[in-house]
Structure formats: C-alpha cells, structure tokens
Amino acid sequence: MDMEKIVSLCKRKGFIFQASEIYGGINGFWDYGPLGVELKRNIKDAWWNDMVRNPPPGPDGEEIVMVGLDSALIQNPKVWVASGHVATFADPTRKCSGCGKFTRADQLWEILAQCEWMNSLIQEFTPVTGQIDTPRLMKWAQGKGKKLAPNLALVKNPQVVLSFLATRVNGQPDAPPELMEMTRYFATEQLHATGLQDPCPLCGGPLGEPKPFTLMFETHAGTEKSDDTKVYLRPETAQGIFVNFKNVVDSSRVKPPFGIAQVGKAFRNEITPRNYTFRSREFEQMEIEFFCKPEDSMKWYAYWRDVRKAWYTKLGIKSEKLKPREQGEKELAFYSKACTDIEYLFPFSEETQELEGIAHRGAYDLTQHQNASGKDLSYFDEAAWAVYDKSAFKGDKKREQEEKAKFRYIPHVIEPSAGADRFTLAVLCEAYSEDTMDGETRTVMRFHPRLAPVKAAILPLVNRDGMPEIAEKLYRELKRDWNVQFDDGGAIGRRYRRQDEIGTPFCFTIDGQTLVDQTVTIRYRDDGKQERLPLSEVANKLREALRP
Ligand code: GAP
C-alpha cells in the first residue's frame, strides 16, 4: 500500500494537515482537521470507555478498579530530575560537517533507507554482488548527485572515491561489500586519514561522533528567564500520575490493585521526526499506571499485555499486522522485569513499529519520587492487617510494630503506554482500501464503526415529494447522539462514494417507498449491500452497531 495515497487522502478530506502549512509548515508538528479530530476523539473515547470505565474482568474474574487524572503539562522540574529524565532522556545524535544538521545516530540506516539521494543512488549499482559500473556512478555524481547530495564524497571527488571502491571490490572478489559498506565508501574522501565515514541523510556529508541530545523542550515559568525559572514540557503523561499517587489513594478510597489513567499531550524534541505523524514532536499519549502488590505483579503484567493486544484487534486491526514483541533481557531497563511492545506493520516500513509498550516498572518510579520528595509513598494494607491473627504478640508493642511493618509496601507498577496519534495513523492505514463497485474503482476507508468520524449519512433520494423533510427530521434526531451528515447534493451514487471515502459505515436513504410504508434504505459501506428498515428502527440500528 502506498503511504502517499493515504497522506493525500488525509489532506484532501480533512483528516490531517501540516501544522502552519501556509508558512511552509514546521517539522514534527501536525494539525487534525474536521474529520481527523473526530477520529482521534473516537479513539481516545474508546480507550477511556474500554480501559477506564469498563475494563475487562481481571485474571480471577474480579472487577478492575480504574480512576482517571488530568495533570498539568508543566510540573515542578524536580519531578523530571527524580524520574531520571533530566539526566538520561536523550537520544544519540550525529552532526554533519557538511550542512551542520543533526541526525539520530541509532536510526541512521533506517533514515538513510528512506532518503531521496540514497534511493536514487541505489539504482546505479548492484548492492548484492558489489558490482560497480564506474561510468554510471560518475554520471550520477555529476548529475543527480550534485542536486540531491552535494556533500557526498562521491559527488565532491568521484575519481578518488571510485578508485578506493574499485580497490576494495577487486581486492576481495569473494567478499563483495554489502550495501552499508558501499554507502560508507561513497561517503569517504580521505580513506587513510579518516577511515570509512557515515553519510548525512540530508546532504551526504560526513557525520561526526554520536553525542547525547536531550529530548525535553525547555521553557520558563514567570517573567525571568534564568536557571531558577526553567521548566520542561512533559515528555510523557506518566510522571503526572506517579506524583499524584498519594493524592488519589487518600481521596478516592482505592487500594491496590488499581489503576490511574490519563490521556494528554506529551512533547519530545525528536532529532529526526519522520514517517508522517508516527514520530512527532507533539503527540498524545493514553497511559495507565496500574499499582499492585509486588508478588502479584507478573500476573497483572500478563493481564494488561493480553488486554491491550485484544483491544487493537477488537477495533479492527488485523492480527497479521499486529505483533506483540517481548523485549529481551538486554533491552529491559535495569528496574524492569518484563516489557512487551505491541507493534504494527505500517506501510512505510518493512518492519513492525511500536504502537504501545506494556512495561513492568517495579517500584522504581514511586521509590524515586519518595526519595526525592521526602514524602511517604508506600501503601499500608489496612484490610489485610485488620484480619491478621495478632494473638501471638498481644500486648508486645515492639513485636506488633515489626509485624505491622510487613503490611507496608511500595506498590509495583504495570504501565500500558499507548500513543493516540500512532494508533490514529495505524487506523488510517488499516482502513484505506481501493476496490471496484458497480464497475467503478472506489476508495473506501473501512473504519470500525466505533472509530468512524461520521457514523451515518442521511440522504433524501430526490429533493421533492416530502423526502427532504423526512430526511431532515431523521438527521436532527440522530445528530443529538452522533456525528452524522445530511447530504442532498448530486446523484445518489456519487453521494455514497463521498461517504465511502471518509469511511461512513451506514447511509440511510429516504426514497419513494418511505412515503408509502415509513421504511428507509440502509446501505452498508463495506459491501454496498442495501436493505429496508423501518424509519423508527434507524436509531436502534445505529446504537447497536456502535455499542462497545
Ligand atoms: N511512559 C512511558 C513512555 O512514555 P514511550 O515508549 O516513550 O513510553 C509510549 O512512549 C508511547 O507514546 C509509544 O508507544 C508511542 O505510541 C507514543 N510515542 C512516543 N514517542 C512518540 C513520538 N515522538 N510521536 C508519536 N508518538 C510517540
């Protein structure tokens, strides 16, 4: 599937626009148009409904206790020191000595694989056998290369580069250079002085050594701009939950196991934002911190991993494109016992990419905040202590205190952390399809009805004989509950196509028969099938289809 087609439909139909487009845009920021905002809202609402208001029963069939939170985007900077973000929330970056721009070091080859000059150059040689056609590469260097990668060594000094490469290819005919090595040769002008170089994806120039680059956006709170007033835009919603753990426990009568959920914006100054909205600098997260007893934590980890995967499937993501990937021991943070990334096969990559991470975070975050704030964030299991047999130490205060202390613990945390924008993009990619209907090619967005931005269209077949009046009455009734459209413009077939293209699952057509027997035509988006339905049943039909 072609990503360009999806991007073009998103702009044409008002799902996603480039932020500040009339000023040339701004890298890593996106705006959601009239349909996009409905789609994303439906996604967040579905998450809130299915995970916070009505999560599936627990591993032993028990009711899951979840509450919500909406914490500030800007917190006391001490929060980010305690969480470890100030010290370590950084990506390795490399500066190009040609154009001065930075590239994310750990994703260099993925970024190169998508860049224009690399895709153009790769047409000019055979990476598998290492065969090179010197005149052809020379021609590229003097033509397309000059425009696309002006600082690439091959472009600046083709004779030298190609002679180094020829020596390598001819010197080891049994071990031809692979694509990565070839690319490094193309990027190297002074092989003996510098060794092989890595090229900049933007201009082909040589990249410097990796250096950490902090991803947090900084600003100042108050009128003075000094180190004392420096604050950060939150890079995740999670810490707002941890620092409110005590508030929630004290105010809500919840006790572990229970979860706190939050949906909201997060900001990361990504070095190389890319793949449309996939890696943005401003995005929304849907996060849960689920607090439980340490000894039950693996049970709850398995519960959330399975619940979260099932949720994506339930909302129409085909299972062959969805891959839960359990992280290996080396990948895990030092405090984490387990982590699964739920990945999706986006059209822009041959490998699945992360939609959500479900992490076992142990007692790390609450311990960090307890140590840094000096506030007790442990939980005392009052209910278990109340029924504990105290007869063996009755009257022995010291022993009683020792026994009581065993009922106090720092809860362990399971964190399912999902990206609302990433899932929105996955839903758009999954929904996009083209097929033939009534001899015509059509584009159809096969959204799950719960996520579809427009739930139904109400269409009078013709603009006379009382049909518009009936249609308008139905429209007014339905719009009280759902986002529906009234459309009386153009031939009925064209109106159906318009709705298919924006993914409206149902069209209700008021026609001649309606005047006779008070029934309407219901037309289904996915297969174009049509049936008759009593007018009085339309709202029920829609309610049933949209039920979680
Ligand atoms: N509290 C844990 C946490 O923030 P993360 O893996 O860094 O973990 C969680 O982020 C989710 O947030 C990711 O799985 C992804 O869906 C989304 N996300 C992270 N960075 C993003 C970015 N630059 N653009 C869009 N979504 C992003």
Q: Is the pLDDT of residue 427 over 90?
A: yes
| CA–centroid distance, residue 216 to ligand 1 (Å) | 13
What the block records as the tokens of 226 is 């000094």
283 lines ligand 1 (CB under 6 A): yes
Q: Which atom of ligand 1 is nearest to the CA of 357?
A: 14
Query: For atom 10 of ligand 1, which residue has the closest CA?
Result: 417
pLDDT tens readout for residues 366-392:
999 999 999 999 999 999 999 999 999
Of the pLDDT bands very low, low, confident and very high (cuts 50, 70, 90), residue 133 is confident
422 lines ligand 1 (CB under 6 A): yes
Query: For atom 4 of ligand 1, which residue has the closest CA?
Result: 236
Q: Which atom of ligand 1 is nearest to the CA of 273?
A: 23
pLDDT tens readout for residues 447-505:
999 999 999 999 999 999 999 999 999 999 999 999 999 999 999 999 999 999 999 99
| CA–centroid distance, residue 143 to ligand 1 (Å) | 41
- Residue 106's SS3 state is helix
Q: Which atom of ligand 1 is nearest to the CA of 239?
A: 1
Query: For atom 2 of ligand 1, which residue has the closest CA?
Result: 417
| CA–centroid distance, residue 76 to ligand 1 (Å) | 22
Write the CB contacts of 177 (distance below 8 Å, at least 6 apart in sequence).
Answer: 130, 165, 168, 169, 185
| CA–centroid distance, residue 205 to ligand 1 (Å) | 31
The residues pairing with 359 across neighbouring beta strands, listed in sequence order, are 339, 415
What the block records as the tokens of 481 is 């509950």
CA pair distance 507, 525, nearest whole angstrom: 8
| CA–centroid distance, residue 501 to ligand 1 (Å) | 30
Query: For atom 1 of ligand 1, which residue has the closest CA?
Result: 238
| CA–centroid distance, residue 79 to ligand 1 (Å) | 19
356 lines ligand 1 (CB under 6 A): yes
Contact indicator for 184, 175 with CB cutoff of 8 Å: no
pLDDT tens readout for residues 385-402:
999 999 999 889 999 999
282 lines ligand 1 (CB under 6 A): no
User: Among 449, 509, 446, 533, which residue's Cα sits nearest to residue 541?
Assistant: 533
Give the pLDDT confidence score for residue 131 in this predicted structure: 75
Q: Is the pLDDT of residue 31 over 90?
A: yes
Give the pLDDT confidence score for residue 176 in this predicted structure: 86
pLDDT tens readout for residues 61-94:
999 999 999 999 999 999 999 999 999 999 999 9
| CA–centroid distance, residue 62 to ligand 1 (Å) | 30
Q: Is the pLDDT of residue 429 over 70?
A: yes
Q: Which atom of ligand 1 is nearest to the CA of 268?
A: 23
**What are residue 245's phi and psi, to 5 degrees?**
-50, -50
Give the pLDDT confidence score for residue 1 in this predicted structure: 65
Q: Is the pLDDT of residue 130 over 80?
A: no
What angle is formed at CA 46 by the lines to CA 292 and CA 535, rounded to 5 degrees?
Answer: 145
Q: Which of 422, 423, 424, 425 to mutate to test the pocket of ligand 1 (most atoms within 8 A of CB)?
A: 422
Query: For atom 15 of ligand 1, which residue has the closest CA?
Result: 419
| CA–centroid distance, residue 268 to ligand 1 (Å) | 9
Angle between helices 420-431 and 3-13 in degrees, nearest 10? 100
Q: Which atom of ligand 1 is nearest to the CA of 237?
A: 1
**pTM for the model:** 0.90
Q: How many CB atoms lie within 10 A of CB 433?
A: 13
Q: Is the pLDDT of residue 534 over 70?
A: yes
Of the pLDDT bands very low, low, confident and very high (cuts 50, 70, 90), residue 318 is confident
Q: Mean pLDDT, the chain, as a whole number?
A: 96
| CA–centroid distance, residue 96 to ligand 1 (Å) | 27
354 lines ligand 1 (CB under 6 A): yes
Q: Is the pLDDT of residue 129 over 80?
A: no
| CA–centroid distance, residue 524 to ligand 1 (Å) | 36
pLDDT tens readout for residues 410-425:
999 999 999 999 999 9
Using a pLDDT cut of 90, give the percent of the chain over it. Answer: 92
241 lines ligand 1 (CB under 6 A): no
| CA–centroid distance, residue 415 to ligand 1 (Å) | 12
Over residues 27-44, mean pLDDT? 98
Q: Is the pLDDT of residue 126 over 90?
A: no
Report CA dihedral (93, 421, 21, 99) to the nearest 10 degrees. Answer: 10
Contact indicator for 217, 203 with CB cutoff of 8 Å: no
Q: Which of 285, 287, 352 to mutate to test the pocket of ligand 1 (most atoms within 8 A of CB)?
A: 285
Over residues 16-45, mean pLDDT? 98
357 lines ligand 1 (CB under 6 A): yes
Q: Which atom of ligand 1 is nearest to the CA of 280?
A: 24
Q: Is the pLDDT of residue 128 over 70?
A: no
Over residues 138-161, mean pLDDT? 96
